[in-house]
Amino acid sequence: MQYTEEGQLVAQPRQADKELAKKIRNRSARVGVIGLGYVGLPLALEMVKEGFQVVGIDIDRQRVDSVNAGISYVLDVPSETLLSFVAKERIKATQSLAAVENLDTVSICVPTPLRKTKEPDLSYIIAAVEAVHNHLRRGQLIILESTTYPGTTREVVLPILEASGLKVGRDFFLVYSPERVDPGNRSYNTRNIPKVIGGMTPRCTELAALLYQQFVERIVLVSSPESAEMVKLLENTFRNVNIALANEMALMCHKFGINVWEVIEAAKTKPFGFMAFYPGPGLGGHCIPVDPYYLTWKARMNDFEPRLVELAAQINSQMPAFTVSRVADALNEKQKSLKGSKILALGVAYKRDTSDTRESAAIEVLRGLYEKGSHVHYTDPHVPFLEFNGRVIKSINLIPEILQSMDCVVVLTDHSTFDYEMVAAYSSLIVDTRNVLKDSSGSNVICL
């Protein structure tokens, strides 16, 4: 027992971890998600499906209003599913960060962009964690899911939370568990993608594992938040480096007069020791083009020079300019100049069958063509409007008359809804960066 200096008995606090574990098991835990984007909203929905009462927090008023109206803006969340749970009052959204005070678990799923200097921008994480600090109470589980560099949870998040006077592992519980969402993937989603968890203490890890076990099929435990943070960076750096190799092979094959797509298709018939990656007009999305810079920044802070990772980023960053040059060369063969030519881009999203244009290489290609004097247009069934060079442009209909009016059509995003047979039949010139027209016998198709 403990006593005050005056000799009075000090009431012992309830065992916060056991109380929280009980709430998680019987679904009485009030769970919350900060950041209702392509990671946070699907996560919240999986929690709701398993019987939890969920509060979503986002500073974006439009997102909050959409969620409360049962209207989804995330490809992987059907509006009808969201609406059914909103109607049952199982999920609600708010802009008020004070809602954290009434929550038992808080998952932070906010953006982690790059500054113009290619350095990590943790401003969204810090803002979210400071809001949690302002309303932190005993027994809460805080989970950071945003992609970041190793050390963020321990060196940035923990000091802010412990400034409240509460102690991690005793009064509150802190974990890093990287998001691994692949927007638009019909095979893998929040539920069946294994969840990596690394807590500040073993009990932190156990409680987070208990929470995720309620709605994720497989849990993977690691020894620390730093290991969990590094897992996500390794995954995306692996893809970045291998895509860079595929892109460099494309550049070499172009010099040698070899079809790089034929080479890759033949190489992947080897049943071991090879994994196929494909070239393209450049990288896009929030993760693969961004995460390696988080890793290289942290490496340089520790006097390590990550040469391979940095070189891969350089190679990939060259691909939009190379694509522009291929369009210029293709037009030149037709005795046309890039300047003044009418060019139609097929797709501006960063990947097929999504509406996500973040870091999209397709937009960089469009900008490069525009700066060379081309009249650029685009068609994308998932992106009806696009902010481009200070103005808003609209997607145009993909019809034969439009194709015939263009000097060149550039396939930048291989959406499955495009009618590629029509594109091949009515376009005078096509630069195909995705190899979707590989079966076309026309001389009007130029591969990357």
Task: Return d(Cα 427, Cα 419) in angstroms, integer.
Answer: 12
Q: In the numeric block, which tokens belong to residue 251?
A: 């550049």
3-class SS of residue 58:
coil
Residues 126, 51 contacting (CB under 8 angstroms): no
Q: In the numeric block, which tokens belong to residue 187?
A: 């095979």
Residues 240, 312 contacting (CB under 8 angstroms): yes
Q: Which stretches within 8-122 are classed as H helix?
A: 16-25, 40-49, 61-68, 79-87
**What is the CA 236 to chain-centroid distance, rounded?**
10
Residues 428, 446 contacting (CB under 8 angstroms): no
Task: Return d(Cα 177, Cα 165) in angstroms, integer.
Answer: 24
Task: Return d(Cα 93, Cα 73) in angstroms, integer.
Answer: 14
Alpha-carbon distances of 293 from 72, 115, 312, rounded to whole Å:
31, 10, 11
Task: Return d(Cα 337, Cα 370) in angstroms, integer.
Answer: 13
Task: Return d(Cα 65, Cα 56) in angstroms, integer.
Answer: 11
| Catalytic residue status for 287 | yes
Task: Return d(Cα 331, Cα 28) in angstroms, integer.
Answer: 64
Rg (CA), the chain: 25
Judged by phi (left if over 0) then psi (alpha if -120 to 50, else beta), residue 85 lies in: alpha
Which of the following is catalytic: 109, 204, 253, 287? 287
CB-count exposure of residue 196 (10 Å: 0-12, 13-18, 19+)? buried
In 3D, which of 74, 137, 446, 37 has the Cα closest to residue 261?
446
Give the residues across from 174 on adjacent strands.
142
Sheet strands side by side (includes 342-346): 375-379, 342-346, 408-411, 430-432, 445-447
In 3D, which of 66, 63, 60 has the Cα closest to residue 79?
66
Residues serving a catalytic function are 287
